[in-house]
Amino acid sequence: MMETIVSPSLLSADFLHLDKEIEMINESEADWLHMDVMDGVFVPNISFGFPVLNAVGKVCRKPMDVHLMIVHPENYIQQTADAGAAIMNVHYEACIHLHRTLQAIRAAGMKAGVTLNPSTPVNVLEDIIGDIDIVQLMSVNPGFGGQKFIEHSIKKVQRLRQLIAHEGSHALIEVDGGVQAETAPRLVDAGADILVSGSYVFKAGDPKAVIHALKSLQR
């Protein structure tokens, strides 16, 4: 039995009361805290940046899973590590020298994650899967919380699971976007190890109960 890693996305939290939201995460069964940085260039939205990461990093007791939706993420590796991130996810589409960037992320003491947009096929990772700790599949187009799950993502998880097995890689599969009661069990069945969930967790009446429900999904 494989336990599901749950990484709630802070993007849907109440930004006026971030201290309370982090307290909830600390007390919950969440494994990680997912943080979405957007630059208004790589994606058509702007979220938050290093001042917020630094502040949250001081009080969050869960490993920070940082998802950079920005151009030139390689310029921000040290700042991400200094904020206390445990995982740094960069977009495949934003990295010309992906291999070099992944080495630098690991050298800075973080786990190296690569994120794929919905339109990017998993086989582009064939020659680099051995150097990746986490592959994050976007199951919505990145930039916004609360969007509809793209159904094709289930097949993509299965395809990535096959690629990982074929190449003898230890990479974990993370899925981000539209993860809720109906899609979460199907993603876990398809082979997802890590579920990111924003609006489903933070807009719930009882977020800790939702985290518990996601956490109890097993494969």
Give CA angle at 115 (40, 26), nearest 5°.
Answer: 85
Binding mask 61-100 for ligand DX5 (x = CB under 6 A): ------x---------------------------------
Verify binding: residue 140, ligand DX5, rule CB under 6 A. Answer: yes
Verify binding: residue 12, ligand DX5, rule CB under 6 A. Answer: yes
Q: Which is nearer to ligand DX5, 104 or 204 (CB)?
A: 204
Which residue ranges are tagged as binding site for a divalent metal cation?
34, 36, 67, 176
CA-to-CA distance for 193 and 175, rounded, in angstroms? 8
CA-to-CA distance for 129 and 82, rounded, in angstroms? 26
Q: Which is nearer to Zn ion, 129 or 175 (CB)?
A: 175
Q: Which is nearer to ligand DX5, 169 or 175 (CB)?
A: 175
Give CA angle at 195 (189, 200), nearest 5°.
Answer: 110
Is 176 annotated as catalytic?
yes
Residue with tokens 């390689």: 74
Binding mask 173-202 for Zn ion (x = CB under 5 A): ---x--------------------------
What tokens appear for 145 in the block? Answer: 């919380």
Is 36 annotated as catalytic?
yes
Q: Please identify which of the residues 31, 65, 176, 193 carries the catalytic annotation.
A: 176
Verify binding: residue 117, ligand DX5, rule CB under 6 A. Answer: no
Which residue ranges are tagged as binding site for substrate?
9, 67, 143-146, 176-178, 198-199
What tokens appear for 133 in the block? Answer: 């700790």
Close Cβ partners of 164 (under 8 Å, ≥ 6 residues apart) = 129, 135, 170, 171, 173
CB of 4 to Zn ion, least distance (A): 17
Q: Please identify which residue in 57, 63, 113, 145 interacts with ligand DX5, judged by CB under 6 A.
A: 145
End-to-end CA, the chain = 6
CA-to-CA distance for 11 and 77, rounded, in angstroms? 21
CA-to-CA distance for 98 and 132, rounded, in angstroms? 10
Which residues form the interface with ligand DX5 (CB under 6 A)?
A: 9, 11-12, 34, 36, 67, 140, 142-147, 176-179, 196-200
> What amino acid positions are annotated as catalytic residues?
36, 176
